[in-house]
Amino acid sequence: MIEVCLLGSGGMMPLPDRRLTAMLFRYKGRLLLIDCGEGTQLPIKLAGWGFKAIEAILLTHYHGDHVAGLPGLLMTMGNSGREEPLTIIGPTYLYEVIKGLCVIVPKLPFEIRLIELPEEEINTINLGEIEISTLPLEHSMPCVAYCIELKRPPKFDVDRAISSRIPKKYWNRLQKGENIEYNDSLFTPEMVLGEKRKGIKVVYCTDSRPVEGLSDFAKESELLILEGMYGDNDMLSNAIEKQHMLFSEAAEIAKSSNSKELWLTHFSPSVKNPEEFLVNASSIFSNTFIGKELMFKTLNYED
């Protein structure tokens, strides 16, 4: 089970009724935060999930509306009694950006561990049971999309384990992928595991034109969160110039990737009422929703 909370849906600048785009993921009490624009602390507090349990912060890129809230958040995490290391992941220039932002929070009671992603590569990072993949995007500075996936091991086949005469005390270890040597015999996971089972996949992408590979990256995701900078199709030239997406372009990606649900986010301040343009996306991909502050969803395994 993964819980997802959209902390804000705005791009470029916060508005009185629209905070900047950021997302929280919770799994077994552990939190991942994507992006941290100015004021992100407030919706985190309103969500009630706490600050101390944030295990990693995933930065898509380094425009101010995605990172300016980081120093204040780090200070709040330190004041909450955190001592465990914090991982921050981001594209090229991560070291320089964090060094600059931390000038105003020079002393923290916890270590910051940085993972800078190589340019123009698809990367995979494992944080415990959670697999994080990244895809380079097309924007005015290095920018990545994130895929957060909770993979599920194949179902354990009791009949196969019994017929192979594998002692029951080894079943759990085999299910977790270990090889077991026993009485000159080698037991492998393939001997006791059945068909693959679908896990849970969430993909998050803002600040980019549609790029080659994005549909495959998002393939069969349970939840796809994409930027919808502009709702009006007549704004295509603006979207191309500023390297953003239209609602309709996001919907095409959701459709071609066979995703289950699409949330639009990162709206331009000029888009006062995103619902007015929802039909431009829902006519292409019906299960589309306009992102709102503190929008929440629980994702479970299919079976």
**Mean per-residue pLDDT of the chain:** 92
- Residue found by looking up tokens 């309103």 in the block: 46
Query: What's the whole-number mean pLDDT along residues 86-95?
Result: 96
Are residues 130 and 257 both part of a single domain? yes
Give the domain-ending residue among 130, 165, 190: 190
Tens-place pLDDT, residues 248-262: 999 999 999 999 999
Q: Examine the domain organization and report whether 143 and 161 are in the same domain.
A: no
Q: 180 and 293, same structural domain? A: no
Q: Domain of 91?
A: 2-154+196-299
- Written as six digits, the tokens of 3 are 């819980």
Nearest partner of 35 among 10, 52, 53, judged by Cα:
10
Total domain count for the chain? 2
Tell me how far apart the alpha carbons of residues 193 and 41 are, in angstroms, rounded to a whole number: 44
Average pLDDT (144-168) is 86
Task: Please report, for residues 117, 142, 147, 207, the alpha-carbon distance to residue 120 in angstroms, rounded to integers and kept in the order given.
Answer: 9, 9, 16, 16
What are the tokens at 155? 């179902």
- 303 carries an active-site annotation: no
250: domain CATH number? 3.60.15.10
- Phi/psi of residue 247, nearest 5 degrees: -55, -45
Residues 137 and 235 in one domain: yes
Catalytic one of 17, 65, 232, 234: 65
Does one domain contain both 50 and 146? Answer: yes
Do 172 and 210 reside in the same domain of the chain?
Answer: no
The pLDDT, as a whole number, for residue 118 is 87
pLDDT in tens, 168-225: 888 888 877 788 887 778 888 888 887 777 889 999 999 999 998 999 999 999 999 9
Q: According to the model, what pLDDT value does residue 62 have?
A: 96
Mark whether 114 and 149 lie in a shared domain.
yes
Calpha distance 130→297 (Å, rounded): 18
Write out pLDDT tens, residues 21-45: 999 999 988 899 999 999 999 999 9
* Residues 260 and 166 reside in one and the same domain: no
Contacts of 108 (CB under 8 A, 6+ apart): 74, 75, 77, 78, 102
| End-to-end CA gap in the chain | 11
Domain identity same for 12 and 106: yes
pLDDT value of position 75: 95
